[in-house]
Amino acid sequence: MTEKKETQKILCVLYEDPSTGYPPKYIRDEIPTLEKYPDNQTLPNPQSIDFKPGDLLGSVSGELGLRKFLEEQGHKLIVTSDKDGPDSVFEKELEDADVVISQPFWPAYLTEERLAKAKKLKMAITAGIGSDHVDLDAAMRRDLTVCEVTFCNSISVAEHTVMMILSVVRDYMTQYQHVLSGDWNIADCVQRSYDLEGMKVGIIGSGRIGLAVLKRLKPFDVDLHYTDRHRLSEEQEHDLGLHYHDTLESLLETCDVLSIHCPLHSETEYLFDTKLLQKMKKGSYLINTARGKICDPYAIKEALESGQLAAYAGDVWFPQPASANHPWRSMPHHAMTPHTSGTSLSAQARYAAGVREILENYFTGQAIRDEYLIVKDGCLAGCGAHSYSEGNSTAGIESVLQ
């Protein structure tokens, strides 16, 4: 294939800089260097990078470390955090953009209507994992390439998940708030606190993140269960002591703690509604670091208020950013974070390098790694064919974009 010599417009949507300004220095001087991912997949391997690993790359001023690379080749880079509404920078710049880069943490929703306006768009890149903010059906009809940086932050999310499980089972948030308020009532602190040891913990989706969570939970002496349409090997099940469930309902009826790690697509959209939550053990814990739209927000709140759920910990919302009056901000017994699990400074170095690798291949006409592909040549491809179903998960964002 021939190298793409013409000037390309790269539209990059990133989250805002810190409220105190872009950091002049960092608490640590370096981050660990990883040689490979746990399944031996190689890390992103661009020809070079123009950033220091450990710097804040995912915000507007960080620019994913791309400006020097793109401008030296004569390409135009537009970076913005203004992504919603008809007068947003993203909406205005999209019309003649060749490539859109977005993040799961601050997604630029590529709806069918927006894609129809983007006459020159050839590729949508997710700087992270999860491309459900793109209408994949519309992307296939438009013959767009959709890709993401597979595995770049899987372990980051797995670590966050384990933190959340321990936080809600031990009721850490209540105890922390007592410290802040100056109180010292031990009984108030521990009346909802239990040991994780001995509990039955279930994982919904045993892909890279789900499997990493299972591995990290094994030393806690819990009873591990999982369900997935792609069953793990007998060796993996034996090594981790896993119990496989061929139905989600069987898993729900068995487990004290459930953690969601399946992608968002047509089969999982609003999967956890009132009816499904009633099938869970009373007083169980639900963790969601996958996608907010897998859960009905009002059903979750009602389950917490009734005691059907003991606690809900989530890192994902719909839409993102969540409104100030989102029901999950005010519901009881929650441990919510604003989709930060996969954008630690360590993870940013990997997803920035992965975006650079994808762009290098795109500009030189080389094939993009199969594991990075979600949609190509009008159909689900690579990782997308394994993990997604055809459909559109952006529905419902229209009110935010108007």
Just list the catalytic residues.
153, 291, 320, 339
Q: Find the helix or strand (DSSP H, E) in which 112 lies.
A: helix 112-117
- 2's CB contacts (< 8 A; 6+ apart) are 365
Which amino acid would we find at residue 165? I
Cis before 319? omega within 30: yes
- 223's CB contacts (< 8 A; 6+ apart) are 198, 199, 200, 201, 241, 243
Q: In what order do the strands lie in the sheet with 99-102?
A: 76-80, 9-13, 99-102, 123-126, 145-148, 373-376, 379-380
Handedness of CA 360, 366, 371, 377 (dihedral sign): positive
Q: CB pairs under 8 A, 24+ apart, for 141-144?
A: 141/378, 142/115, 143/377, 143/378, 144/115, 144/375
Nearest CA among 30, 1, 138, 65 for reference residue 354: 65
Strand partners, 227: 204
Q: Phi and psi for 131 in degrees, rounded to 5?
A: -110, 30
